[in-house]
Structure 1
Amino acid sequence: MIKAIIFDFDGVIADTEELHFNCLRRILSEEGIWIDREMYNETYLALDDRSCFRKALSMAKLREIPPEKLEEFIHRKARLLQSCLTEVKLFPGIVESIKQFSSEVLLGICSGALRQEIMLVLQKHSLLEYFTAIITAEDVENSKPSPEGYLLALQQLQEKSGIPISALECIVIEDSVAGIAAAKAASMYCVAITNSYPKEKLYQADLILESITEFSLRKLQNYPK
C-alpha cells in the first residue's frame, strides 16, 4: 500500500534547471571555468550548490578553496537565482497532480535546492500546504545519489503525520539519473519523468513517463515493474 509520494523539486515541480545552469555558469566563468548545458546535465544537475562548486573546481584541477570562499560562491548563486524565481514556471499538470495526490497520500519534497528557493516557488503557486515534509540542501550532508535526503524525508513524514511508513510504501518522482539512484538506494519505488533526460538515460527507474499527467496511484498496479 502506498502511503507517501516524495517529489524532487527542480525538474519535476518547477522548471528551473535552465536558471540553475545559467547562474552556475556565470559564477564559474568569473573564475575561469567553462561549462555548457550538456556538461551541466551530465555532471551537476542533481547536485546541491556546494557539491556543484566543489566538483567544478576539482575538475578544473584548482586547489581546495577556503570554506569562506565556497560559501561566497553559494550565496552569489542564490542571489542570482532568487532574482529570477518569481518568473519561474511549473511543469504542465503538476499543480493538479499535487492536489489530487494529497487527497490520497502524504506528500514530501526532497531536493538539492535551497529552502528559501523552494518555499518562494511553493508559496507563489499556493502549494506549500500540500506538503508534510520538505528536505533541502541545508538538511543533509550528502547530496544525491546518496539516499540521505530521501530517508530523512521519510523520517519527517512519519514524525509529522504520526503514521508508520516504510520505504517500500513510498513513491519517489524524479527527473535525474542521480536522483533515481538515490531513491533506489533508499529502497523506494521510483517514477522518472523525462523533463531533463531522455528515457534511455532513466532506465534504472521502476517506471518512466513523459509527463506527471500520465501517472495515477489507482493505476500503479497495472504498470510494468
Structure 2
Amino acid sequence: MATIKAVMFDFDGVLFDTEPLHFEMFRQVLRMEGVTLAPDRYHARYVGLTDQACFRAVLTDSGWSAVTAEALDRLVQCKTGLMQDALRKTLPVLSGVREFVAAVAETCRTAIASGALRQEIALCLELAGMASMFEHVSSAEDVRHGKPDPALYLHALDALNRRSPLRAHECVAFEDTPHGIEAARKAGLRCVGVATTLPGSRLMQADLVVPSLHALPLSQVLAQLSP
C-alpha cells in the first residue's frame, strides 16, 4: 500500500465543533418558513450536506412541491448571516485539532475538502490562527455537487496534483459523517472516521474510526492504515 503523502480534512465536526451551530441556524431559518426540524431527523438524514442541499431536502421532505433556486439562495443567505454572527461570538475549535494538524503538516501535505461556505471556513481558520496550516481549501462554491458526491475531494486532489504529483491512494481523509466517508471513498481516498458528531457505529464504512483528534498520534493512524 502506498505511503500517505497528503491528508484532507472535512471542516465541520472534524476541525471545528460547528455542527451544533449549523443545526441551530438551519432550525431558526426553517422555523421562519413554518417548517420544524428536529435534532434526530437532522442527524439521521441531513448532517453533512451543503446548505443548499440540506434546505432542498428538508423542504422537499416537508411537502413543498417546488423549491426554487431563488428560495434556496434566500434561505442560504439568511443562514450564512446568522452563522457568521455566531462564529464571531464563539470559536468552536475542537480539542487537540491545532496540535494534530500541526503534526500532520510536518510530514504530509494538507488540505480541506468541505461543503461549508468558503467565508465560514476562512473566518474560523483566521480566528484560530490556522490558515497557514493548509496548502489548499476546497469549499461548497468550488463544485456543483456536495458530498456524498466525490467532487470536493477530486477538486482538492486536482489542486494539490497541479503543484506536485499526487494520487488518490496516497491520500487519507478525515470525516465525521457517512456522506463524507462515502465521498472520500468514491474519490479513491482512504478514510478515517472521527466520532465527534455521530457515534462510531455510524462511521463503519471508514477504514479506521477514532473518537476525536485529541491526543491522537499521527504515527498510530498511519500504522493502522498500513497493510
Identify whether the pair has TM-score above 0.5, normalized to the shorter chain: yes
- The two structures have a TM-score, normalised by structure 1, of 0.95
Report the residue type matching 1:53 in the other structure. F
1:54 shift after superposition? 0.6
SS in structure 1 of the partner of residue 192 of structure 2? strand
Q: Number of paired residues?
A: 223
Report what 2:81 is aligned to.
79
1:101 shift after superposition? 0.6
Report the residue type matching 2:24 in the other structure. N
Question: Are the equivalent residues in 1 in contact too, given 2:168–2:189 (CA < 8 A)?
Answer: yes
Of the three residues 6, 24, 29, the one matched with 1:4 is: 6
Of the three residues 105, 108, 113, the one matched with 1:110 is: 113
Any runs of at least 4 consecutive aligned residues in structure 1 with deviations exceeding 2 A, and if so which? 213-222
Of the three residues 140, 145, 150, the one matched with 2:148 is: 145
**Distance across 2 between alignment mates of 1:83 and 1:57:** 25
1:104 shift after superposition? 0.5
**Distance across 2 between alignment mates of 1:193 and 1:204:** 12
1:221 shift after superposition? 5.1
Report what 2:224 is aligned to.
223
Alignment of 1:207-222 (within 5 A): 207-213=208-214, 215-220=216-221, 222=223
CA RMSD of aligned residues (A): 1.3
1:88 shift after superposition? 2.4
Of the three residues 35, 39, 52, the one matched with 2:54 is: 52
- The two structures have a TM-score, normalised by structure 2, of 0.94
**Distance across 1 between alignment mates of 2:27 and 2:214:** 32
Runs of 5+ consecutive residues of structure 1 not aligned to the other structure: none
Q: 1:107-128 deviations in whole A, cap 9, x for unaligned?
A: 0001111000000000001111
- The answer to which of 207-216 and 69-78 deviates more is 207-216
Report what 1:90 is aligned to.
93
**Distance across 1 between alignment mates of 2:149 and 2:18:** 22
Report what 1:173 is aligned to.
174
**Distance across 1 between alignment mates of 2:85 and 2:46:** 21
Report the residue type matching 1:62 in the other structure. W
Q: 1:27-72 deviations in whole A, cap 9, x for unaligned?
A: 1111111111111111111101100111011101212133222111
SS in structure 2 of the partner of residue 223 of structure 1? helix
Q: 1:130-187 deviations in whole A, cap 9, x for unaligned?
A: 111101111111111111100111111122xx22110000010010011011111111
Of the three residues 103, 122, 128, the one matched with 1:125 is: 128
Runs of 5+ consecutive residues of structure 2 not aligned to the other structure: none
